């Protein structure tokens, strides 16, 4: 199944990435905790400049807490995009399998986000249209993470690097608290997003891994502004300390 997801999710994301939306998803927190006292932290960046940080801690052998944040500041001739998002949550994790090397996690949480977007249209180098979108929104999410710590080896430059894979299925409800177009109050929108995520991790050392993340973002409601217009393509570093 992972083999098919590795190819299907990037294709879905290509179709979603061509649209525009006031909602920019962050890289979901996938710490893959395994026992009490374990800490996981990570930092990720996309080609668009969307930066995400994640942190998680196992307060018992089956309960973990999460915190995440993301930010982006992009200024271009036709579009400026600024956003911030913070999340907190918690949930259950467990290891299973013949060697206890498979991990499943179920987490829920809430978040708060801000977006400030300006779209411009030019004709013969003359500005003919400009629209500024200012949005505050809240979100709630539920996600299931699965990964196996069974590793394949990638042989590069005479060295073996362990590779493992994981998936996360997240569903998020995002609802506007405030929405302005060119300073004028607008009707607020909401949407429910289904976000299937696939990640690949390559071990650089015992505790440090390089992670590539890709996902699709599917909106379950038809909305003009709170739509599924952004997907995830990031590279990052993940650190796990104190696990099995």
Q: Which tokens in the block code for residue 195?
A: 């976000």
Higher pLDDT, 212 or 229: 212
Question: Which pLDDT value is given to residue 196?
Answer: 95
Q: Which residues of 15-54 are buried (b: 16+ CB within 10 A; e: fewer)?
A: ebeeeebbbbbbbbbbbbbbeeebbbbbbbbbeeebbbbb
Question: Which pLDDT value is given to residue 151?
Answer: 63
- 8 A C-beta contact, residue 16 and residue 22: no
Question: Which pLDDT value is given to residue 150?
Answer: 61
- 3-state SS, residue 11: helix
pTM score, two decimals?
0.85
Q: How confident is the model at residue 99 (pLDDT cuts 50, 70, 90)?
A: confident
Question: Which pLDDT value is given to residue 125?
Answer: 87
Per the prediction, the chain carries an average pLDDT of: 88
The closest alpha carbon to 232, from 208, 203, 209, 198, belongs to: 198
Q: What is the mean pLDDT of residues 86-97?
A: 95
The model's pLDDT over 112-137, given as tens digits with 9 standing for 90+, comes to 999 999 999 999 888 888 999 999 99
Max avg pLDDT among 141-155, 181-195, 201-215:
181-195
């Amino acid at each position: 199944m992972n083999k098919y997801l590795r190819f299907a999710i990037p294709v879905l994301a290509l179709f979603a990435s061509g649209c525009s939306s006031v909602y920019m998803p962050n890289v979901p927190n996938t710490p893959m905790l395994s026992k009490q006292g374990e800490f996981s932290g990570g930092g990720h960046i996309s080609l668009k400049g969307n930066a995400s940080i994640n942190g998680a801690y196992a307060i018992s052998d089956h309960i973990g807490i999460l915190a995440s944040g993301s930010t982006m500041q992009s200024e271009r001739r036709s579009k400026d995009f600024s956003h911030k998002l913070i999340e907190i949550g918690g949930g259950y994790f467990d290891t299973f399998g013949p060697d206890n090397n498979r991990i499943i996690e179920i987490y829920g949480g809430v978040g708060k986000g801000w977006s400030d977007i300006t779209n411009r249209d030019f004709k013969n180098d003359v500005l003919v249209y400009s629209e500024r979108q200012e949005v505050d929104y809240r979100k709630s999410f539920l996600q299931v993470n699965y990964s196996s710590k069974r590793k394949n080896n990638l042989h590069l430059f005479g060295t073996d690097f362990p590779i493992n894979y994981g998936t996360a299925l997240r569903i998020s409800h995002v609802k506007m608290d405030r929405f302005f177009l060119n300073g004028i109050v607008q009707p607020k929108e909401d949407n429910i997003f289904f976000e299937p995520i696939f990640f690949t991790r390559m071990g650089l050392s015992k505790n440090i891994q390089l992670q590539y993340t890709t996902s699709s973002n599917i909106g379950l409601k038809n909305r003009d502004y709170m739509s599924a217009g952004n997907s995830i393509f990031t590279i990052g570093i993940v650190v796990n300390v104190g696990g099995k």
